[in-house]
């Protein structure tokens, strides 16, 4: 399967492919999402030399909801403020001048991050707005009249909601349908038994063999750049049972070789194997098959 970030930039804005993003958002928000419109965003970078790898999609869903889906690889310390800015901008741009405040649109901010934002032991975080009494700690709720005006049951339903998916924190243990999507985000692979909403369409549409020759060439050029970036991030945050320092050194060498030599896959693999890296990780770093790795070992 092609990577989700590349699909976001090139394929998901096609109305015929709305089902893919609808599937992911439905699993994340735990209700059926129907997309009316996907808009272009100023955040999308078409310049191939751009290294920030920022991809975002603006979605208008059935029920007048606005959803910002953003994917980013590179670390950004002020990313929380960027989330806030994006939501605020969407709210102000989608209310007519002089319109009553109850016309303010509901906004969801969905952030798929390949860097470590903040500190926490989970890989999916959710944020909403509630009001609690300073003295009683009781939560403020809507009156019955307000429920009718807002067509909402609770105050958090009025305010923006935020989702942060920390892809690198995901340990590839599938517990539910949302995990299937996060597994795909991290590995660009789909297991045969995956049944999350939208996965069938992913299999049909995002298979590499379905791309045109021009798209394949473009995909591999960008994939190489992303793999170098991926290796750099792995080096910074190398963790796990296998010696972290050895992983960092080995991956650093792999990045250098990949940048300097077009034929570097085999040489990279040999260096990683000599460092003691498990062959599964060597496959991931070099894109060699298990048969090719076994030949090198022999």
Q: What is the 3-state secondary structure (H, E, C) of 122-155?
A: CCEEEECCCCECCCCCCECCCCHHHHHHHCCCCH
What pLDDT was estimated at residue 135?
A: 97
CA atoms lying within 13 Å on the CB side of residue 265: 11
User: Bridge partners of 66?
Assistant: 60, 107
297/40: higher pLDDT: 297
**Final residue belonging to a domain, choices 171, 205, 239:** 205
- Same domain as 197, residue 278: no
pTM of the model: 0.72
Alpha-carbon 240 to chain mean position = 22
182/265: higher pLDDT: 182
- Same domain as 67, residue 184: yes
Residue 149 structural domain = 4-205
Q: Are 230 and 53 in contact (CB under 8 A)?
A: no
What pLDDT was estimated at residue 143?
A: 96
Q: Are 105 and 64 in contact (CB under 8 A)?
A: yes
Q: Are 167 and 123 in contact (CB under 8 A)?
A: yes
Mean pLDDT of the chain: 81
- Same domain as 195, residue 265: no
Number of other CB atoms surrounding residue 19 within 10 Å: 19
What pLDDT was estimated at residue 62?
A: 80
Top-confidence range, 3-17, 42-56, 274-288? 3-17
- Same domain as 95, residue 217: no
- Same domain as 218, residue 166: no
Work out the pLDDT band at 54, boundaries 50, 70, 90: low
Count of domains forming the chain: 2
Mean pLDDT of 83-105: 89
Judged by average pLDDT, the poorest of 54-63, 74-83, 133-142 is 54-63
**Longest CA span, the chain:** 75
290/85: higher pLDDT: 85
Mean pLDDT of 128-157: 94
pLDDT above 80: residue 258: no
- Same domain as 225, residue 134: no
pLDDT 10s digits, 186-232: 999 999 999 999 999 999 888 888 787 887 888 777 766 666 666 66
- Same domain as 245, residue 218: yes
174/269: higher pLDDT: 174
- Same domain as 20, residue 108: yes
pLDDT above 60: residue 51: no
**Final residue belonging to a domain, choices 163, 184, 205:** 205
């Amino acid at each position: 399967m092609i990577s989700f970030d590349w699909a976001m930039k090139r394929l998901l804005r096609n109305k015929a492919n709305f089902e893919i993003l609808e599937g992911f958002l439905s699993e994340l928000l735990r209700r059926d999402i129907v997309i009316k419109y996907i808009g272009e965003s100023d955040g999308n970078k078409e310049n191939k030399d751009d290294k920030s790898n920022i991809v975002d999609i603006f979605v208008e869903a059935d029920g007048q909801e606005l959803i910002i889906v953003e994917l980013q690889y590179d670390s950004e310390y002020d990313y929380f403020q960027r989330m806030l800015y994006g939501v605020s901008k969407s709210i102000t741009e989608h209310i007519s001048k002089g319109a009553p405040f109850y016309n303010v649109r509901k906004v969801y901010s969905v952030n798929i991050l390949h860097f470590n934002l903040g500190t926490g032991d989970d890989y999916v975080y959710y944020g909403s707005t509630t009001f609690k009494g300073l003295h009683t700690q009781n939560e403020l709720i809507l009156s019955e009249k307000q429920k009718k005006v807002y067509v909402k049951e609770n105050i958090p339903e009025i305010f923006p909601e935020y989702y942060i998916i920390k892809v690198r924190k995901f340990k590839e243990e599938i517990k539910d349908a949302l995990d299937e999507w996060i597994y795909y985000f991290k590995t660009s692979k789909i297991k045969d038994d995956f049944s999350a909403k939208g996965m069938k369409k992913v299999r049909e549409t995002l298979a590499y063999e379905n791309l045109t020759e021009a798209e394949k060439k473009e995909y591999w050029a960008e994939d190489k750049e992303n793999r170098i970036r991926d290796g750099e991030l792995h080096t910074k945050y190398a963790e796990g049972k296998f010696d972290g320092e050895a992983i960092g050194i080995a991956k650093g060498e792999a990045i250098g070789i990949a940048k300097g030599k077009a034929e570097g896959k085999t040489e990279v693999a040999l260096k990683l194997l000599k460092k003691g890296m498990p062959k599964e990780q060597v496959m991931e770093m070099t894109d060699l098959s298990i048969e090719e790795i076994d030949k090198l070992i022999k």
